[in-house]
Structures are given as C-alpha cells and as structure tokens.
C-alpha cells in the first residue's frame, strides 16, 4: 500500500465517521431548526436519498483508492469525486497520479 492509498483510506474513514456522527446528532436533536423535515414520509425519503448518494460515492471512492495504482483512470475517478464531493480526496488522487507516472516512466526505460 502506497502513501497515497493510506492517506486516501484515512480520509475515507474520517468522512464515514463524520457522516455517521452528523446523522446521529441530527436525529437526536430533531427539534433544532434544520433542513430535515419532521414528518415520517419526508424524513424517510430525505434519509434514503442521502444514504444512496453517500453509499454510492463512498463506494466509488473506496474502489478508486483500492485500485489507485492498477490503472491510471482510477486516480482520475478519485480526482472527480474529490472535486465534487470531498476535497481531501484530491490530495490522494494527485499523489497517485504522480506515483503512476513515475512507475510508467520506469517501465518505459527498461
């Protein structure tokens, strides 16, 4: 595992902890004025939509971090997720691109 992947996993798990903590705090303190609706149907729909996007994006980020050095396009996928979802993934993506470029240069010399 490279440093870029390790940093990506650290950001991945930190974001998961923050998302879970935010969800718990919003649920426990539901009397606070938030954008979360207070009727059951609207709350379920909002939570389901939120969960779908979070699971999808975090799943894609996890796959991209795991396969960061297998193909060059995984670092691009992680970069796009970083730009639109979590800026910390940009660091891992650029670092992975640099490491992939160095590995490609070494392979082309031999």
Q: Say whether pTM exceeds 0.85.
A: no
In degrees rounded to 5, what are phi and psi of residue 41? -65, -45
Residue at token pair 């996928």: 77
Q: Considering Cα of 19, then 36, then 78, then 93, what sign does the dihedral take?
A: negative
Longest dimension (CA), the chain: 65
Q: Is the pLDDT of residue 106 over 90?
A: no
Domain locations in the chain as residue ranges: 3-109
Rounded Cα distance, 87 and 36, in Å: 25
> Rounded to whole angstroms, what are the CA distances from 53 to 47, 68, 99?
10, 22, 30
Note the pLDDT tens digit of each residue in 21-33: 887 877 777 666 6
């Amino acid at each position: 595992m490279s440093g870029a992947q390790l940093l990506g996993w650290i950001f991945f798990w930190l974001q998961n902890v923050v998302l879970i903590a935010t969800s718990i705090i919003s649920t426990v303190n539901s009397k606070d004025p938030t954008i979360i609706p207070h009727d059951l149907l609207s709350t379920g729909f909002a939570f389901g939509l939120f969960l779908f996007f979070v699971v999808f994006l975090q799943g894609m980020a996890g796959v991209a971090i795991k396969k960061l050095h297998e193909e060059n396009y995984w670092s691009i996928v992680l970069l796009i997720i970083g730009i639109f979802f979590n800026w910390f993934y940009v660091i891992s993506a650029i670092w992975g691109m640099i490491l992939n470029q160095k590995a490609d240069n070494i392979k082309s010399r031999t």
